[in-house]
Amino acid sequence: MQNLGIELFRGVLGRRARCLTWLALGVFAWGAAVAGQPALSAEKISPGLLQGLHSGVYEAGARIPIIVRVDAGFFEEQRQRWDRNGRTPLNTMRSVHAFNTALPPAQIELLSRSPLVEYITLDAPLTAYGKGGNQPARGGTLGEESDPITDTSPAGNTVLQTLGVDQLVGLDGSGVNVAVFDSGVYSHPDLNGVHLASVDFTSGQAVTGSEDGTFNGDPYGHGTHVVGLIAGDGFKSGGLYRGVAPGARVVDVKVVSKDGSGLTSNLIKAIDWVIEHRKEYGVRIANLSLGHPPLESYQDDPLAQAVGRMVDAEIVVVASAGNTGKTEEGDAIWGAISSPGNHPDVITVGAMNHRGTASQADDIATTFSSRGPTFRDEYFKPDLVAPGNKVIGPLQKGSYIDKHFRGLRLSHFYAELSGASMATALVTGTIALMLDANPDLNHHLVKTMLGVTAVKMEEALLLEQGNGMVNAKAAVEFAMATDVANRTVADFDPLWTLPDGDTVRPGGAFASGDFVVYSTLVDASTLPLWGNSSNWSGYQLAGGAGWADSIFDPNAMLWADATLWADAMLWADAMLWADAMLWADAMLWADAMLWTDAMLWADAMLWADAMLWADSRY
C-alpha cells in the first residue's frame, strides 16, 4: 500500500511540480489506514466527476485533469515553507487551498481516501460565453443560432439607448479599473488608452506583459469584443459603437488560448494574481464572460469559491450566466447557471434580445441564455439580464472567430456577437459608471442597486430574466444619491423616457439567493406588482412552498447529474437528458429556497438598515 501511495504522489507531482513532496510525506501517515476501506470516498468527489468514474467512460490508463482541495491548515503550513524557500509550486491555487494535476481513475479513487484531501473535482475546460465559445452551430453562427433582430443598421446605438447610457452626462467610468478574464485583448483603434496592465495565464503561470499600453493580443477574438463593450470609445465608428464606460481602464488577464480553450485551474491562479495585485492596479471590478457548466454546489466548486475571495477582497465581481439555455433539439433547459455565476454573491448576468431597437416593449428572453435556479443549491439566478443578441463591438480581424464565423463581421473593425458574454460586459460597464458616480459603493450595494432598479420584462419568466433588464440610468443615479458614510439615500426620480416616448420604470422588487425585498422605487399601491404591472404573486404556489408549474415550459428539462463526456475530456456538444429529468412532482423545491411566508410584501421591507447597510451580505 505504501509503494502504491508513493506512485500515486509521483503522479500527482508530475514533471512540472516535483517540489510538492510535502504531499508525499503524508502518504505514510494514512497509507496503512486505508487498507480494507471502501474503494471510493464518494462524498469527496464532484458529482460530475463521480458520474464519469462510475459510467466507465474513462479508460483505465486515462489521465483525468482534476483539482484537489486539501486541508487548509496543512496547505497554509506548506505555503509558509514555500514562501521561505521562494519556490511555490506552479500547480497550486492559494485562494482555495488546492492544486491541479492529472491522474488515472484508480489513483483518483485512492487519493479520495486520504485524510489530507477534502474534495476532488474536474479541472473543467473553460467556455467563453460569446455564443458558446468555439463550437460552431447550425446556420454558421458562433455557438447557437442567434435570435432575429429587426434592424441591423440602427441610426444610433440602440443598446446604449435601451440602457439609458446615452442620457448619462458627465460620467464615463474614469478612475475605475476592471480586470477582464478572457482570451486577451487586441490593440484595436477603439481601445487606445484603455490598457492598464496585462498578464497571461494560459500556460498555467503568470507571464506579465509590458506596461506601455500593449495588450496580450487576442488570436481568439472574444476578449477584444468584451473589452470594447465595456470601455471602447467607438473611434472607428465615429463614436457610434462605443462601450458603456469609455473612461475605464482594463487589466487584461488572459486565460483562454487562440482556439478558445482554457482550464479552470489557470483561471483560479489568475484570480489569485488579481487579488494579490488589486491594490497595485486599483482593480474595482472583475469581468468573467466565461466559465464552465455546473458540476457541484457552489460551496464545493473551487472556481466559485475563488471568485468569492475576490468579493471578500472588495472587488465587484460580474459573471456570465452561460449559454446553456436549450438542447440541440431546441428544448429549454432550467437550472444550468454556469460556474462561477452559481455563487450567490456574484452578479450573474444572462442575455436578452433587444431586437435592435431602443424600445423595451419588444424585448424578449433569448433561447440560448442559461436559466436558473442554480444547480444543486437552487438559488435564484440570473441576477439580471442585458442585451446579448447580435451586439456590435470591436473585431480583431484574422482572429479565430473572424476566420470561422465570417458572417458575423460587419466591417474590418466590428462584428456582431451573441451570448451572455456580451450582456455581462454591458453590466460591467454600467458598474464602472456607478463607481465613477460614487466610489464608496461596495460589491453588495452595487448588486442591490442593480437588482432594485432593473426593469421587469413582460415576455420573460422569472428564472430567465432574474430581477429584469439592467437599467443603467436609474442605477447610476441611485448611486449618485447614496451617501454610504451616513447611510442615507437622497430623493431622486427613478423614471426616465426612451427615445420612443415610453417611460422606463424600475421594478422595485429584488430577489437574491434565497430572499426577496421590496423598495420604495415603485408606488406602494402597486403591491404585489412588478414595476411594469406584471404580477409576481401569480408565480408562487399557495403559501410560497415552491415554484408554480406556470413558470416552466412544459417541454423543458432540468440540468441533470449525468453528463456526456467526449473522449478528449472536453464537453460534448450536448448533455445526456434522461426522460426522468422532465419537470415532475418529484422535482421539489424546498421551502428554504425562495419565496416563503417570511418574505413579506410590506412597508417593513422598504429601505431599512436590514437591506442596504447590514453587516451581513446585503
For 25, the grid coordinates are 510525506
Cβ of 155: how many Cβ atoms within 10 Å? 9
Query: Considering 188, 222, 225, 444, which one is annotated as catalytic?
Result: 222
> Among residues 598, 51, 596, 599, which one has the least CA distance to residue 296?
51
> Among residues 72, 50, 77, which one has the least CA distance to residue 118?
72
User: For the chain, give me the number of helices (H) and strands (E)?
Assistant: 14, 25
Query: Considering 172, 182, 233, 377, which one is annotated as catalytic?
Result: 182
Looking at residue 541, the DSSP 8-state letter turns out to be -
The strand pair at 496-497 and 503-504 is best described as antiparallel
Looking at residue 538, the DSSP 8-state letter turns out to be G
Q: Is 331 in the active site?
A: no
Cis peptide before 382 (omega within 30 of 0): yes
Looking at residue 16, the DSSP 8-state letter turns out to be G
Q: What is the DSSP string of 311-368?
A: HHTT-EEEEE--S--B-TT--BEES-PPBTTTSTTSEEEEEEE-TTSS-STT-EE-SS
Q: Are 287 and 431 in contact (CB under 8 A)?
A: no
Cα 319–322–325 angle (5° rounding)? 150
Cα 347–351–355 angle (5° rounding)? 145
- Chain centre to alpha carbon of residue 192: 27
Query: Considering 369, 421, 512, 519, which one is annotated as catalytic?
Result: 421
- Chain centre to alpha carbon of residue 81: 34
What is the distance between the alpha carbons of residues 557 and 582, in angstroms, rounded to a whole number?
A: 5
Cβ of 150: how many Cβ atoms within 10 Å? 10
Q: Is 222 in the active site?
A: yes
- Give the chain's largest Cα–Cα span: 76
What is the distance between the alpha carbons of residues 127 and 587, in angstroms, rounded to a whole number?
A: 28
- Sorted by sequence, the CB contacts under 8 Å of residue 156 that are 6+ apart come out as 166, 240, 358, 499
Q: How far is CA 480 from CA 260, 475, 518, in A?
A: 39, 9, 20
The strand pair at 391-394 and 384-387 is best described as unpaired
> Among residues 330, 351, 349, which one has the least CA distance to residue 340?
349
> Among residues 351, 247, 232, 352, which one has the least CA distance to residue 289?
351
Looking at residue 281, the DSSP 8-state letter turns out to be H
Q: 302-312 and 264-281 helices cross at what angle (nearest 10)?
A: 10
Q: What is the DSSP string of 435-464?
A: HHH-TT--HHHHHHHHHHHPBPPTBS-HHH
What is the distance between the alpha carbons of residues 264 and 213, in angstroms, rounded to a whole number?
A: 28
What is the distance between the alpha carbons of residues 308 and 340, in angstroms, rounded to a whole number?
A: 9
What is the distance between the alpha carbons of residues 58 and 108, in angstroms, rounded to a whole number?
A: 12
Cα 604–608–614 angle (5° rounding)? 125
What is the distance between the alpha carbons of residues 409 and 394, in angstroms, rounded to a whole number?
A: 10
Any idea which residues carry the catalytic annotation?
Answer: 182, 222, 421
